[in-house]
Every structure is written in structure tokens, then in C-alpha cells.
Amino acid sequence: MSTVSESFGSMVFDDRVMRAALSKEVYDSLRKTIDEGAELNIGVANAVAEAMRDWAVAKGATHFTHWFQPLTGITAEKHDSFISPAPDGGVIMEFSGKELIKGEPDASSFPSGGLRATFEARGYTAWDPTSYAFIKGKTLCIPTAFCSYGGHALDKKTPLLRSMDALNRAALRVLRLFGNADVKRVTTSVGPEQEYFLVDRKMYEARRDLRFTGRTLFGAKPPKGQEMDDHYFGVIKPRVAAYMEELNEELWKLGILAKTEHNEVAPAQHELAPIYRTTNVATDHNQLTMEIMQKVAAKHGLVCLLHEKPFAGVNGSGKHNNWSIATDTGVNLLSPGETPYENAQFLTFLCAVIEAVDEYADLLRISVATAGNDHRLGANEAPPAVVSIFLGDELTAVLDAIEADKPYSAAEKTVMKLGSDVLPKFNRDNTDRNRTSPFAFTGNKFEFRMLGSSNSIACANIMLNAAVASVLGKYADRLEGADDFESALHDLIRGTVRDHRRVIFNGNGYDEKWIKEATEVRGLPNYRTTPDCFPELLSEKNVSMLTGEGVFTVEELRSRYEIMLENYCKTVLIEANTMIDMARHEILPATEKYASVLAANLALKKSVSPALSCGYEEKTAAALSALTDGIAERVDELETAEAKAREISEIGPQSFAIRDEVIGKMTALRSLCDEAEVITASEYWPFPTYGDLLFGVN
Ligand code: ADP
Ligand code: MG
């Protein structure tokens, strides 16, 4: 048994390995590419490829793959073996710089939203040296970006890297104004807290809804749910503990800093949080984490459910995106500083985030919009669909004082002036304990809490980085042209607080009154569903910002609009069909069977003696028969609605038809089936119940 520090990163071609395996010249050149984005020449690529191959083969790898993140939301890989025939009839293991840098997967089956014309079936993948290569199974995986031959991004990594560059450029301009000449690069970092459910694999296999859609489409409330609050941070059960232990080991080998684990609010729900990393690496790691979670679960006879809402009436799963901006000199720009100057700088970045979140709330909402997440947002457990910022009382009071040109507190005598006063220290513990805010300041970072558990974190961070970059760029324009920097900055901050304070809300985000105030008084957008918000992706304001920052082209945005809405439509239609299938082939036969058993018993009892009491049989058989008819009718209605929606060829109208016609019919069908479940004997019910699933892992 090796210790954690020995095995940590053992499957990663990381800096330690590179330093040892590469000549100093090659290493320095590669480091320049990684740290500063310098171009990589083929000689260096060949040397790196050779070292990677030797390292991977020594670890038992036989194949390599370009590992990428197409718009399906999961990762893709196509394995090639290293072998190449040798003249003596044997093979040698080969891997060239060209193969490292560029790949050409047949891309025709990945979603492109019309970006890839059929004659251009092949896309290409390009090595991302900023994310280390790693070995998974027997395959060397090389993180790559995925593009069409026309140069359009077909993946999530490309726009993410572009957004990080945009933010870097804009932030550097602002930092120069504060006299920071030594900062070379500004990066964003993310620590995503990942929620998930674990259920027993046998029970999972017995439910078509879980297998086909990742969530239960039927299921009556169990006798016990989460009302006792006895699961949150509770003792971890042995089977779950064994799972977590192996999961950690696997993640550590891949260099993933899995750190915290605990039970979540719902029974069978858990959370895993890593230590934060550069956004790009955090995104790759989160994708890998979700994959490994599922693989390890299979080894333990479990299934890891990453769906946002696997069980109705039970808390769903989200992902908290903890986000900060830092310089390569080690300064967290969202951390209040020690000196007045640092504080002014902090306030500038804080204001940029506030303005960005207010201006581009629609993009943030879009970045987390999926059919699955529609079940959570606004459903009394996740943050509402209205985007607002929690700053905490102390920081809000500071901003209030600046806006009003008043002293920060009664005790202070002088008006707070930027650049001459030291801000009070913010204690993390008094800034964050508001769990209902979609976007909370937690002392030195923001926590964006609207992401669904299965979402790639790329989307949210692309929008966040791009929006903040655009606001910082605007600030830089204004301040660079100012005669008096200090007073221009003061005006800028005051103006931002005045114009964007409507997005700051420190109260209870779950309160109905807040939604009313947010929408009616403050004019904040409230996009309740995916079809509502997606059209905003193509609004003039958003297209102009995203193309202006070089994060997306217009064509890429159009294609993403198509793909994401298509994904929504397909997801719900599959769910509808699964319900029809289960109701017809499993539930109706079960209710019919049990009703007939009751009817037979009734007849039998009557034949023995008309005086025998048959209240239960009579009542239950009658109720079940009525429910059976009702279910059959609703199945037909759902089928008609599904077929009608499927016919609509334009994606926008189709998404609305699905939301307004199909989902309602699904709910109606489910409610009768759940009623039937409650009065049907367990042995006749065709699949495991909520109680079985939620309390089945010990
Ligand atoms: P909680 O929010 O549950 O109280 P923590 O605040 O300890 O938990 O951490 C949540 C996540 O935030 C972790 O993944 C952690 O690594 C990450 N995190 C901490 N500091 C930063 C930072 N400066 N930037 C980005 N993420 C951070
Ligand atoms: Mg948190």
C-alpha cells in the first residue's frame, strides 16, 4: 500500500514528471506554452510526445486518446493504440508530436447545431497543454479542444479558454492602472461542490425510468422522507464509506484534489468537494470526477445518480461553483486587502462582478438551463430562477456609504474615500450563511449556486468570465482616459453601486415575497424554464458582448441555441415515452392484476357466504379499476401530446409546446399512477418504490 502522498497524481503527466523526463530546454519551452500561451514548435512537441509515451507505457498504457468535451455535456474519446509494425514482425510503441498536437476524430455524430456542413464531417482536436495528460484504464488521455474545420468551436473547452483570456486581458488593464506592473497573468479559479445520490444497482436496474432518463418518473411519497433532517452531515453508512474511500483513491491518482465529503440533506444524497483549481483544470477534473463516481459505484453494486431531480418531493442535486480571480503573483482580487490601495482595487473588481451579474443575469441563467435543472430552480430547495447577489450586511453597508458619500459607520467621523481609508476586515463567517442566494459573496470568492449536478461547469464559467471581462474592459476604457484617476474611480464605483444595487439582496431567496419584489419592484428577470431563457442567448446585448470579447462567434451562438434547446426537447420526449412505456407495460398490468385478484377473492368470499364482509375488496377493487381506466386515458392523452410536439420542426416553438402541453400530461399521468401505487399490494407493484431506493443502501 502506498501512502496518499506517494500515489497522488501517479497517473498524471504533471510538472514533476515533465521536469524529470524532459531536457531543460524542452521543459522550459513547454512551460512557456503552459504559463504564457507561447506557440509550441514541432521539435518540442515530438520530445514531449516521446516522454509521454515512455511514461505511459511504463505505467501499462497501450492506447492514447484525445479527450474532449463535445456539446453532449459528457466527455468523448477515441482510442488509438501506440503500436506500429516493426520490420522483424513485431511491434514498436509509437507516438509522435503530430499525434499529440492534433487529432481528427470522425465528428459527424456529435451535435454541431448546423456548424459542420455534411461535406465537412471531420472536426479536429487540438492539445490543451494547460491541462495535464493522464492515464485512465490503459489509455493515455490528452485533454484537447474540439473544433470544426472552419475553426468554429464544437466543444465547451474552447470558449472557456477564450473567456479566461478575455478576463486576463481586461483585468491586466485594470491592474496596470493601480500600478501593478509585475503581474503577468490573471486567472479565475473554481472549486465545484458536487452533489449526488447513491442507489442500489439491482433496484436501479429494475426501473426503466432510472435507466433511460436518470430520474424516477413515478413513485409515491415514502413513509419517511427527509423531514427528520437526520441525514445531513450524518454518520456515513459502511457501504457508502467504502465507496467514498475508493472514489477518493481513484481521484487522487488522477491528481484531483478531492477534499471534503459528507451526507447531504436528502436520504441517499451525498456531496464531494475538491480543492479549487484554475477554471480550465477544475472543469476537466469535474468531468472526470463525474465519470469516476459512476465507475466506482458500479464496482460497489451501486449507481451514482447525477440527475438534478432523481426523486420528486426530495431535495435535488446541484453544484456550487466557487469562483475567484487571482494574479500570478498570488493576490486574490476578490479579497479585501491590507492597504487602502488594495481596498480600492478590491472594490473595483467587486463592482465589476456586481455589474456583470446584473447586466448578464440572463446569460448566467442560460448557462445552467437544462430540462433537469428546471425541476430545481425556484422549487424551494435550490436558489430561485431570479439571479441576485448576496453580499452580507457589512459589505453592503460599505457600498451604501460609498453611494451616499457618508461615513461607513456612525463611529467613523470621516466620509469614506477610496484610496485613503482601510476597509474593515470581512470575516468569512459573517459573510456567508445565506444558503438561499443564487450568487453569494463568501469572503474572498463568489459562490454561484444555480448549477445543476450534471451540468458541465464550463458553461457557467464561460458566461461569468466573459461578463466580468466585458465590464472590466469598460472600466479600463473609462479610467485610462481619466485626468484624475482617484476621483474617476470614485465616481465609477459610486455609479456602479447606484445603477446595479437592485441585484443585491441579502434576505431569504426562497421567500415568495422576494420573487414579487425582484420582478415587480426591481425589474429583475425571472426565467422559470429553459424555453423561456434560451432565446435571450441571441439578444443583441448578449451577442454583442460575447462576440466582442472573442468568446463566441455569432454562428457558434446560433448553433448552441439550437443544440441546447434540442437537448431540452429530446430529454423531455424521452421521459414522456418512458412513462408511456412503463404505464402500459408495467403499471396497468399490475393494477389490473391486483384488481382482479381482489375481485376473485370477493367472488370467492360471497360464494362461501353472502354474509362475509368484503369492504376492503370492494372498495379497493373499485378504486383500482377507476384508476386503471384513468391511467389508460392519460397514457393516450400523453401519447397524443407527445406526437403533436414531436411534429413541430422549429426548435423554439417545439420547446414551448413540450413545456406547456407534454409536461402537464406527464404530471397528470404520474399522479394517478402514484395513487394506484399506494393502494396496490407491494408484491404486485412492478418496480422498487421510493422507500426501497432511498433507504436501500446500508
Ligand atoms: P462551504 O461552501 O461548504 O462552506 P468551503 O468554503 O470550504 O465550503 O469550500 C467550498 C469550495 O470552495 C471548495 O471547493 C474550496 O476549494 C473552494 N474555494 C475556497 N477558496 C476558493 C477561492 N479563493 N476560489 C475558488 N474556490 C475556492
Ligand atoms: Mg458551498
Does residue 175 share a domain with residue 68? no
Q: How many domains does the chain have?
A: 3
Look at residue 421 in the predicted model and tell me its pLDDT.
52
562 lies in some domain: no
540-548 and 457-480 are packed helices; what angle lies between their axes, rounded to 10 degrees? Answer: 80
Locate cell 507561447: which residue? 38
Calculate how far, in angstroms, residue 275's C-alpha sits from the geometric centre of ligand 1.
7
pLDDT of residue 119 exceeding 60, the answer is no
Helix (H, G, I), strand (E, B) or coil at 544: helix
Final residue belonging to a domain, choices 552, 583, 616: 552
Give the residue-averaged pLDDT of 339-362. Answer: 91
Please tell me whether residues 610 and 670 are part of one structural domain: yes
Task: Give pLDDT tens digits for 18-40.
Answer: 999 999 999 999 999 888 878 88
Give the number of other CB atoms < 10 A from CB of residue 137. 12
Nearest-ligand number for the alpha carbon of 272: 1
Which ligand 1 atom is at minimum distance from the Cα of 335? 23
272: number of Cβ within 10 Å: 22
Ligand 1 contacts CB of residue 188 (under 6 A): no
Same-domain check for residues 511 and 630: no
Q: Is 201 exposed, middle or buried (0-12, 13-18, 19+ CB in 10 A)?
A: middle
Residues 401 and 481 in one domain: yes
Q: β-pairing, 123-127 with 102-103?
A: antiparallel
Q: Is residue 557 one of the residues assigned to a domain?
A: no
pTM of the entire predicted model: 0.94
Distance CA 45, CA 64 (A): 15
For 430, the grid coordinates are: 459573517
Whether residues 430 and 458 fall in one domain: yes
Domain end, chosen from 126, 155, 184, is at 155
Q: Tell me which of 147-151, 176-180, 518-522 is least confident.
A: 147-151
Q: How far is the centre of ligand 2, averaged over its atoms, from the C-alpha of 447 (Å)?
A: 7
Mean predicted confidence (pLDDT) in 10-22: 96
Domain that holds residue 574: 567-694
Residues 299/246, Cβ–Cβ less than 8 Å: yes
Query: Is there an atom of ligand 1 within 6 Å of 332 CB?
Result: yes
pLDDT at site 36: 80
The C-alpha atoms of residue 431 and residue 442 are separated, in whole angstroms, by 6
Q: Which atom of ligand 1 is nearest to the CA of 274?
A: 14
Let me know whether 123 and 172 are in one domain: no
Q: Which residue has the cell 417545439?
A: 654
Please report which confidence band the pLDDT of residue 394 belongs to, taking 50, 70 and 90 as the band edges: confident
* CB 282 near ligand 1, within 6 Å: no
Asked, for residue 42, whether it belongs to a domain, the answer is yes
Separation between Cα atoms, residue 44 and residue 67, nearest integer Å: 21
Query: Are residues 602 and 457 part of one domain?
Result: no
Q: Residue 477: enclosing H or E segment and its boundaries? A: helix 457-480
Assess whether the C-beta atom of 275 lies below 6 angstroms from ligand 1: yes
Distances (CA, A) of 652 to 13, 72, 209: 45, 19, 26
Residue with the three cell numbers 477544475: 282
Domain co-membership, 541 together with 571: no
CB 471 within 8 A of CB 455: no
What is the chain's mean pLDDT, rounded?
91
Same domain membership, residue 368 and residue 468 = yes
Phi, psi of 80 (to 5 degrees): -120, 140
Q: How far is the CA of 283 from the centre of ligand 1 (A)?
A: 15
Amino acid 549: pLDDT: 98
The mean-pLDDT minimum among 255-264, 396-405, 578-587 falls in 396-405
**Residue 133 phi, psi dihedral angles, 5° rounding:** -70, 155
Q: 559 pLDDT exceeds 60?
A: yes
Looking at ligand 1, which residue's alpha carbon is closest to its atom 1?
193
User: Quick check: CB of 444 below 6 Å from ligand 1?
Assistant: yes
Q: What confidence score (pLDDT) does residue 410 get?
A: 47
**Predicted pLDDT at 425:** 52
Residue 41 burial by Cβ neighbours in a 10 Å radius (0-12, 13-18, 19+): exposed
**Binding site membership of 443 for ligand 1 (Cβ less than 6 Å):** no
CATH of the domain at 456: 3.30.590.10
Q: Pocket of ligand 1, candidates 428, 445, 461, 468: which has the most ligand atoms within 8 Å of its Cβ, to mutate?
A: 445
Query: Could you say which ligand is closest to the alpha carbon of residue 446?
Result: 1
Q: Which residues surround ligand 2, an ion (CB under 5 A)?
A: 320
Residue 558 lies in a domain: no
**Residue found by looking up cell 479610467 in the block:** 479
Atom of ligand 1 nearest to the CA of 191: 14
| d(C-alpha 274, C-alpha 457), whole Å | 14
Evaluate whether residue 332 is within a structural domain. Answer: yes
Q: Pick the ligand that lies closest to the CA of residue 432.
A: 1
- Among 239-248, 325-334, 390-399, name the one with the lowest average pLDDT: 390-399
By alpha-carbon position, which residue is closest to atom 11 of ligand 1?
Answer: 191
How many angstroms does the Cα of residue 518 sit away from the middle of ligand 2? 24
Task: Kindly state the cell numbers that stand for 119.
Answer: 461535406
Instruction: Flag whether pLDDT at 373 surpasses 90.
Output: yes
DSSP, res 454: T
Q: How many angstroms does the Cα of residue 322 sit away from the middle of ligand 1?
A: 6
115 or 98: which leads in pLDDT: 98
> Regarding beta strands 139-148 and 63-68, do their DSSP bridges make them parallel or antiparallel, or are they unpaired?
parallel
**Domain shared by 244 and 179, yes or no:** yes
The reported pLDDT for the residue numbered 118 is 47
Tell me which residue has its CA closest to atom 24 in ligand 1. Answer: 324
Cα gap 638→633, rounded to integer Å: 9
Can you tell me the distance from the alpha carbon of 202 to that of 189, in angstroms, rounded to the nearest whole number? 39
Ligand 1 touching residue 140 (CB < 6 A):
no
CA dihedral 447, 453, 458, 459 (to 10 degrees): -90
Q: How far apart are CA 248 and CA 258, in angstroms?
A: 6
Stronger pLDDT, 660 or 123, i.e. the higher one: 660
Angle CA 114–118–123, to nearest 5: 80
pLDDT in tens, 418-448: 554 555 554 444 455 677 899 999 989 999 9
Span 105-123, mean pLDDT?
Answer: 68
Q: What is the CATH number of the domain that holds 630?
A: 1.20.120.1560
Answer yes or no: is the C-beta of 10 below 6 A from any ligand 1 atom.
Answer: no
Measured in whole angstroms, the distance separating CA 588 from the mean position of its chain's CA atoms is 37
Using DSSP's 3-state secondary structure scheme, residue 129 falls into coil
The whole-number pLDDT of residue 432 equals 52
Find which of 31-40, 334-343, 389-398, 678-687 is predicted with most confidence, using mean pLDDT.
678-687
How buried is 608 (Cβ within 10 angstroms: 0-12 exposed, 13-18 middle, 19+ buried)?
exposed
Nearest listed ligand to the Cα of residue 286: 1
Closest ligand to residue 330's CA: 1
- Does residue 293 belong to any structural domain of this protein? yes
Q: Which of 524, 552, 580 lies at the terminal end of a domain, its last residue? A: 552
CATH number, domain at 38? 3.10.20.70
- Domain contains 227: yes
Residue 142 in contact with residue 100, Cβ under 8 Å?
yes
**Please, which residues bridge with residue 70 across strands?**
155
Q: Evaluate: CB of 433 within 6 angstroms of ligand 1.
A: no
Whether 619 and 501 map to the same domain: the answer is: no
Angle 653-655-659 from CA coordinates, rounded to 5°: 115
Angle among Cα 245, 284, 551 to the nearest 5 degrees reads 155
- Is 168 a residue whose pLDDT tops 70? yes
Atom 16 of ligand 1, residue of closest alpha carbon: 275
191 within ligand 1 shell (Cβ under 6 A): yes
At position 137, the amino acid (one-letter code) is G
Q: Which of 260, 278, 322 to mutate to test the pocket of ligand 1 (most atoms within 8 A of CB)?
A: 322
526 lies in the same domain as 612? no
Query: What whole-number percentage of the chain has pLDDT above 70?
Result: 94
In a domain, 223, yes or no: yes
> Which residue from 276, 332, 468 has its CB within 8 A of the most atoms of ligand 1, so it is best to mutate?
276
Segment 203-207 shows an average pLDDT of 98
Find the 594 Cα to ligand 1 centroid distance in Å: 53
523 in helix, strand or coil?
Answer: coil
Q: Which residues pair with 371 in a beta bridge?
A: none
Whether the CB of 324 sits within 6 Å of ligand 1: yes
d(CA 318, CA 373): 8
Sequential DSSP letters for 251-317: HHHTT--EEEEEE-SSTTEEEEEEPPEEHHHHHHHHHHHHHHHHHHHHHTTEEEE--S-SSTTS---
Q: Which residue has 377473492 as its cell numbers?
A: 601
